[in-house]
Amino acid sequence: MMNQLIQNEVSKILLKKKMVLISVLLFLFIGLFSYGEKYTYDKTISRFEKITEDTSYDWKSLASQQMMELEKRLESPYIHEMGLKSIEIQIEQMKYFIENNINPITPSSARFSVDFVENAIIMFIPLMIIILASDLVSGEFSNRTIKVILTRSVPRWKVLLSKYIALLMMTTMVVLMIGAISSFVSFFFFRVWGFYEPVATGFKLINGELDANSVIMVNRMEYMVLIYSLAWFVSIAIASITFMISVLVKSTAAAIGIIMAFLIGGQFLQFFLSDWEIIKYFFVSNLNLTKYLTGAYQQIEGMSMKFSIMVLAIWSLVSIVISFVVFTRKDVLA
C-alpha cells in the first residue's frame, strides 16, 4: 500500500516534468560555469606566458604567480575589512598547498564538481529543491485534487508520508544528478578527471587566522563523497522546510514566495546583522556546511560544522512534525 502511494507521488512529480526542468537548469548552469572556469584557466596561462615568457610552466609556478596577485590586491586601498580577511586566508592556504605539493590550479572534472557544490550550496541547490517541494501539497489544494485523495480509505498521515518519502527520493536523485552532470560536463571542457588527486581538508579558522594543524589529506573522490553528503543533508533540510510551507499555505505561488524570501532575506541578514546572536539559529545562516572544511572566511563567529548540522536537523524535524500535525487536522475547504 505505502509503496504504491509513494509510486503515485513520484509519478506526479515526473508527470509535471519537474526532473526535466531541473536537468535542463543543471546542464545550463554547469555548462556555463565550467566554460567560465576553463576560460579563466586559459587566461591565467596566457598571462603567465606573457609575463615570464616561459612556455614550460608547471602548476607550482602558476600558483606562486597567483599568490603574488593576491598579495598585490591586499595593498589596494579600496578593499574592505571582510575582503581583506578573506584574501589573507586564501594566501595562507596557497602557501600551504605549495609547501605540501598539492595542486590547487589545474582544473579537473572532480575538482569542478566539488567547487560547484561549494558555491551552489547556499542558493542554487536550494532553488532546485524548492522547484521539487513547493507544490507538493499546496498544488493539491490549488487544483483541488486534495479532496479526491483525502476521500479515499487512506489515513491522512499516510498520504502525507508518501509525499514526504517521494520528496526525499527525488531530492537524493537531484543531488546525484548534480554530481553526475557536473563531472561529465566539466570533463568535456577540461579533459582531466582528477579523481585521485590529493586534497587538503580540515582547515580551521582560529580567531580569524587559518590554522592548518588539523588538516588531513584525502583523495578527490573521498572528498567529493564528503561534500556531496553535506549537500544532500542541506537539501533534505531545505526540502523539509519547503514541504512544511507547502502544507501551511494553499497556493503554490505563496509557498515559493515565502521560502524564497527566507532564503534571500537570510543571506542578507547574516551579512548585515552578523553580530546579532539569534541569526545563527536561522536555518539559512547554516546552509554553507562545506565552508567549514575549506576554511573560507566566516561572517558569524562561533559557528561550527556540528552546530550548523544540529540547527538544520532541528529545523527539519520541527518542520516535519508541524506538517503532520497540521495536515491531519486540517479542514479541507478547497
Our CB check for other proteins shows the closer of 278 and 333 to be 333
Our CB check for other proteins shows the closer of 150 and 269 to be 150
Q: Which cell numbers in the block locate residue 2?
A: 505505502
Q: Is 143 in the site for other proteins (CB under 8 A)?
A: yes
Among 56, 101, 153, 207, indicate the residue that binds other proteins (CB under 8 A): 153
**CA 210, CA 93: separation in Å to the nearest integer?**
8
Our CB check for other proteins shows the closer of 153 and 213 to be 153
Only segment of 100-108, 121-129, 151-159, 273-281 that touches other proteins (CB under 8 A): 151-159
At closest approach, how far in Å is the CB of 145 from other proteins? 5
Q: Is 5 in the site for other proteins (CB under 8 A)?
A: yes
Among 98, 149, 254, 313, indicate the residue that binds other proteins (CB under 8 A): 149
Q: Is 145 in the site for other proteins (CB under 8 A)?
A: yes
Q: Is 155 in the site for other proteins (CB under 8 A)?
A: yes
Only segment of 57-65, 105-113, 148-156, 172-180 that touches other proteins (CB under 8 A): 148-156
Q: What number of chain residues touch other proteins (CB under 8 A)? A: 25
> Which residues lie below 8 Å from residue 138, measured CB to CB, with a gap of 6+?
246, 247, 249, 250, 251, 252, 254, 255
Q: Is 325 in the site for other proteins (CB under 8 A)?
A: no
Size of the chain, expressed as the number of residues it contains? 334
Among 55, 56, 151, 213, indicate the residue that binds other proteins (CB under 8 A): 151
Strands 216-219 and 198-201: antiparallel
Q: Is 332 in the site for other proteins (CB under 8 A)?
A: yes
Helices 252-272, 220-248: axis angle to 10 degrees equals 120
CB-CB neighbours of 285 under 10 Å: 23
Q: 331 φ, ψ to 5°? A: -80, 125
At closest approach, how far in Å is the CB of 1 from other proteins? 7
Count Cβ neighbours within 10 Å for each residue of 133-147 and write b for 16 or more, e otherwise.
bbbbbbbbbbeeebe
| Whether the Cβ atoms of residue 326 and residue 141 lie closer than 8 Å to each other | no
Only segment of 5-13, 71-79, 246-254, 293-301 that touches other proteins (CB under 8 A): 5-13
For residue 206, give the H/E element and its range.
strand 204-206
Q: Is 165 in the site for other proteins (CB under 8 A)?
A: no
Q: Is 20 in the site for other proteins (CB under 8 A)?
A: no
Only segment of 96-104, 110-118, 147-155, 296-304 that touches other proteins (CB under 8 A): 147-155
At closest approach, how far in Å is the CB of 70 from other proteins? 52
**CA 133, CA 115: separation in Å to the nearest integer?**
25
At closest approach, how far in Å is the CB of 128 from other proteins? 20
Q: Which residue has the cell 595542486?
A: 103
| Helix boundaries (H) for the chain | 2-15, 18-52, 59-74, 81-99, 109-120, 124-133, 138-142, 146-149, 156-190, 220-248, 252-272, 291-294, 305-329
36: nearest Cα among 44, 46, 24, 25: 44
Our CB check for other proteins shows the closer of 15 and 278 to be 15
Our CB check for other proteins shows the closer of 18 and 280 to be 18
Among 53, 99, 277, 331, indicate the residue that binds other proteins (CB under 8 A): 331
What does the binding site for other proteins look like in residue numbers (CB under 8 A)?
A: 1, 4-5, 7-8, 11-12, 15-16, 143-145, 147-155, 329, 331-333
